Structure 1
Amino acid sequence: MSVEGKVAVVTGGGSGIGQAAARLLAANGAKVVVADRNVEAAQAVAGSLVQAIAVRADVSRADDIRDLFQAVDDRFGRLDILVNNAGYGVAGTVVDLDEAEWDRLMSVNVRGMFLCSKHAIPLMFRSGGGSIVNTGSYTAMVAIPSRAAYVASKGAISSLTRAMALDHANQNIRVNCVAPGTIETPWFDPAFANSENPERFRQELSARCPMNRMGRPEEIAEAILWLASDRASFATGSVLTVDGGASIW
């Protein structure tokens, strides 16, 4: 699944799924722009790759995203792949959640995807086309308790994926979504650390799917690579679920 010579932007590329995707794209020949609001993490990833740069970017801020894609244009003069991966979750029902928490999550998970795509698509079109891969979640199909804002944001991502795929198919721009299950990333580290019984907590997370384990970031990166590559040349508007079977229960 070569992406040799292509230019890829990965948001949230400093850790977890984003880091794994950046590494795999680079290993298959891509020039990678690692974007993250934690610039030190982005620099650490980019510094370990052959052809990569790090850019500090908060995806919820329009000025940051404008600067990000200007940096891509200035450095590489083209864009072939965008991995819209930045996002996070908060606990709470609609009753529990503070309005500011809801707004902040939506600004990152949904507005961030909108802003990145808004600036990436013209550059992709100028480059002759490209591929956008959005990181969604199996929770867009099967809700989990006390994660109302997160579930809602991932549902929006699935719908936005289909809308963009339809709008930009005639520009040779494919838009797809990968929907992971529960993946063991640094996002869970504080929860494990604060748990009275970390092993029991891990078992509870693993029990969300028939395979009875958490997924690995590298497993999601493989799906991202396929969707980003020309091997998926007839795939657009798709949601590829990689969740250990969690959504079939």
Structure 2
Amino acid sequence: MNDHQEINGATAIVTGGAKGIGAAIVRRLTAAGVSVAIVDLDADGAEKLAHEVPGTFAVAADVGDYAAMYAAVDEACTRLNGLDILINNAGWDHVQRFTDTESTLWDKLIHINLKGVFNAVHLAIPRLISSGGGRIVNVASDAGRVGSSGEAVYAACKGGTIAFTKSIARETARHGITVNCVCPGPTDTPLLGEIKQDERAAATMDAIVRATPNRRLAQPDEVAEAVTFFASAPAHITGQVLSVSGGLTMAG
């Protein structure tokens, strides 16, 4: 590893890589010459993508389960012969007003969106240090920056991911590891399609699009491009948060 990572020939783990933003990240990284382990709970989806994209392979795991992730990261790093890049993309959401939710939903959201990031980073850091440094990119959400009606716990998880990104960036900089965060706004993915099956959620999402200066959803490849930027950015870019939201949110 050097101060400006050349990612051609690098190795990466992408969580939640089977579809949507994750699949776009996998395709973008492999196009840049990266070998990629696709880690996803959707084993069939991950295998299907691995068959379509050269230089990839699938590893099935629940990111929120530490033991399962330990096995997955071990298998991935063995097959990759090391690790240079970790992309924490796995996520899930359910739009519902907080007072109408139950604690079982909170647990599921935290399990996937926050604990999943903790698990992967905890397991990857020693591998990255042994590789001489590397890049961690966490995919959060603009909901974590500004809040979002109907997504209180999801937003809390993503806000936690943003804070976690900055803290780990401070802890690992001396090892040549950068840690940055990409925050998509509403993005045209299968997950969004599932969310919009609920009429109230669909109305909320449509209102957000109308409030976006670009007047449209983000495309997965646009988010993937931002992720790839951080995966190859200079070592002096760390602890940063980049929104991909068509101007819906703007840093002050």
How many Å apart are 1:195 and its aligned residue? 4.6
How many Å apart are 1:90 and its aligned residue? 1.7
Contact kept, 8 Å, 2:176 with 2:235, in 1: the verdict is no
Counterpart of 2:44 in structure 1: which amino acid? E
**How many Å separate the matches in 2 of 1:49 and 1:190?**
25
1:219 counterpart residue number: 222
1:55 aligned counterpart, secondary structure: strand
Of 158, 177, 198, which aligns to 2:162? 158
1:241 counterpart residue number: 243
Q: 1:203 to 1:106 in 2, by over 3 A?
A: closer
1:14 aligned counterpart, secondary structure: coil
- Count of aligned residue pairs for this structure pair: 246
Structure 2 unpaired stretches of 5+: none
1:86 counterpart residue number: 90
Of 142, 146, 149, which aligns to 1:145? 149
**How many Å separate the matches in 2 of 1:236 and 1:216?**
25
Tell me the TM-score normalized by structure 1. Answer: 0.93
**How many Å separate the matches in 1 of 2:59 and 2:237?**
29
**How many Å separate the matches in 1 of 2:204 and 2:77?**
45
How many Å apart are 1:180 and its aligned residue? 0.7
For 1:64-116, what per-residue CA distance to the aligned partner results, in whole angstroms no more than 9, with x for missing partners?
10011111222122100000000111223332220111011101111100000
Contact kept, 8 Å, 1:205 with 1:213, in 2: the verdict is no
Q: 1:195 to 1:99 in 2, by over 3 A?
A: closer
2:29 counterpart residue number: 25
How many Å apart are 1:141 and its aligned residue? 2.0
1:240 aligned counterpart, secondary structure: strand
**How many Å separate the matches in 2 of 1:3 and 1:48?**
21
Q: 1:208 to 1:187 in 2, by over 3 A?
A: farther
For 1:11-47, what per-residue CA distance to the aligned partner results, in whole angstroms no more than 9, with x for missing partners?
0000111000000000100000011100111111111
**How many Å separate the matches in 2 of 1:9 and 1:133?**
11
Matched, 1:42 2:46: yes
**How many Å separate the matches in 2 of 1:141 and 1:202?**
17
Tell me the TM-score normalized by structure 2. Answer: 0.92
Of 55, 78, 99, which aligns to 1:51? 55
For 1:171-219, what per-residue CA distance to the aligned partner results, in whole angstroms no more than 9, with x for missing partners?
11110000111101000223445559x7x77743421411110000000
How many Å apart are 1:2 and its aligned residue? 5.3
1:119 counterpart residue number: 123
Percent of aligned pairs with the same amino acid: 34
Contact kept, 8 Å, 1:90 with 1:149, in 2: the verdict is no
